[in-house]
Amino acid sequence: MTLLSAGAINSDRKADSDTADNPKAKVAAIVARAHAAMEAYENTDQERVDDAVRALAWSIYKPENAKMLAELAVEDTGLGNVESKIIKNTRKTFGTLRDLIRAKTVGVISEEPERGLVKYGKPVGVVAAVCPSTNPAATPVNKAMMAVKGGNAVIIAPSPAGAITTAKTVDMMRAELKKAGHPEDLVQLMPTPVSKEMTQELMNQVNLAVVTGSQNNVKRAMQSGTVAIGVGAGNVPVIIDSTADLDDAAVKICASKIFDNSTSCSSENAIVILDDVYEDAIAALERAGGWRCSAEECQSVGDTLWVNGKLNRAVIAKDADVFAKVMKLPEDAQSSKFFMVEQQSVGGKHSFADEKLSLVLTVYRAKDFAEAKKIVHDILDVTGKGHSAGIHTKNLEHARELAAETDVVRILVNQAHTFGNGGSFDNCLPFTLSMGGGTWAGNTISENLNYRHFINITHLVTTIPKDQPSEEELFGPYWSKYGK
């Protein structure tokens, strides 16, 4: 496959000579084109808006495009694998399209005559969509679909590591918009060079910044003065309790852990197994494809996984055989699918308790369910508070306890996290590639990013029969306890 050269990115959208070396002016020019596109966009007509959303979805869902962009992403970034990225490009897009087509976002979006209320959906403006290297094709399309659904224009800011793939993705989205008769500049690529400075300037000038990936980018967006939506870091811990179907849990954990070589923020990073089923659960995980590292192998993995306080790019998001060779694991380990490192206690940053973005699954043993919950909390205190956790169980009271006591937005029950956290056809979560973590993660949203975050709402309010209770109704319970 021939890759686009870095100099070719956005080559058909060259800046004027007077803005060539001026980041502020370069961004201003592209933002102006975005506003002009919104003026030309039929964004008060829900049918036309939905037509544009379908065009964006088809640009990546089309089989040959999904495959080409998956291959390009792996070649461009060195992360993940082609098969998983094809699934990500198609499944996430299809699910998001399902959600979006069912929603009203422009014009009258709801009427409640009994409340005297009519709601009108309106655009938020020009959106900056900052995207990660782990999903250089799927995330730009996902965010563009949501933004355009709200009647907005969007400017995609790629990661430097995935810029070539993202540029190709944007070109494909623009081509489909043009084919369907919509303004191409509804979707644009951030001006080059791809850098923190250019991304910051873009975030400064738009109406809304939506940031996925680097927590540094998330923090800078929040400090930009622009309305911003950021998402938190993942580091998902999952409990296997005494009632779990062990083989079912193991198969789901394996499928989720190995998907795209663990690039997903929703991938299981640790499991906590109750003592009375510990060895049986480990055996089930081995049957599913896990390699149980010895104490010496755990040491080797730990020494290699982090280099100078940073994850080692030679092993993150790499295939299992490559990982095993770099880690100097036995030859038999190279045919395994993922690698289990057993730990006696929860460490801190850059320990096995931290996010690993690799096929390493940390395993903890808990004497009972109370200790299992504590281990989960301790892991999330290291990294991932606000994001997600899960449990495999037949005892829904355990699931309710975990949800009531754990500071995360999502608790998944008997599910493969990577396939459930960002929306699934068999759960109620909206399809997305960006998961908010609430104030626990320093985020403004505590749900999956979805179309509602890309619209403003005007409330038309008319009078209804008066609803004014008596003082006795409101203060009575207090008076009866404490007097007036």
Mean pLDDT split into 10-residue runs, the chain, 484 residues: 42 48 93 98 97 98 98 96 97 98 98 98 98 96 98 97 97 98 98 93 96 84 89 95 98 98 95 98 98 96 92 93 95 96 96 96 98 98 97 98 98 98 97 96 95 98 97 97 96
Which top CATH class is 6-231+449-459? Answer: alpha beta
Residue type, position 193, single letter: P
Fold of 236-418: Aldehyde Dehydrogenase; Chain A, domain 2 (3.40.309)
Residue type, position 281, single letter: A
Rounded CA-CA distance 421/442 in Å is 19
Does residue 265 have an active-site annotation?
yes
Where are the alpha helices (H) located in 106-212, listed in sequence order? 138-149, 163-179, 196-205
The single residue of 131, 265, 293, 298 carrying the catalytic annotation is: 265
What DSSP letter does each residue of 335-390 carry, written as one string? G-SEEEEEESS---TTSTTS---SSEEEEEEESSHHHHHHHHHHHHHHTTTEEEEE
Domain-wise residue ranges, the chain: 6-231+449-459, 236-418
pLDDT at 399: 98
| Spatial contact of 356 and 270, defined as CB atoms under 8 Å apart | no
Handedness of CA 31, 33, 37, 39 (dihedral sign): positive
Q: Structure pTM?
A: 0.93
CA-wise closest residue to 366 among 302, 281, 291: 281
List the beta bridge partners of residue 386.
408
Helix (H, G, I), strand (E, B) or coil at 473: helix
pLDDT at 373: 98
Rounded CA-CA distance 333/331 in Å is 5
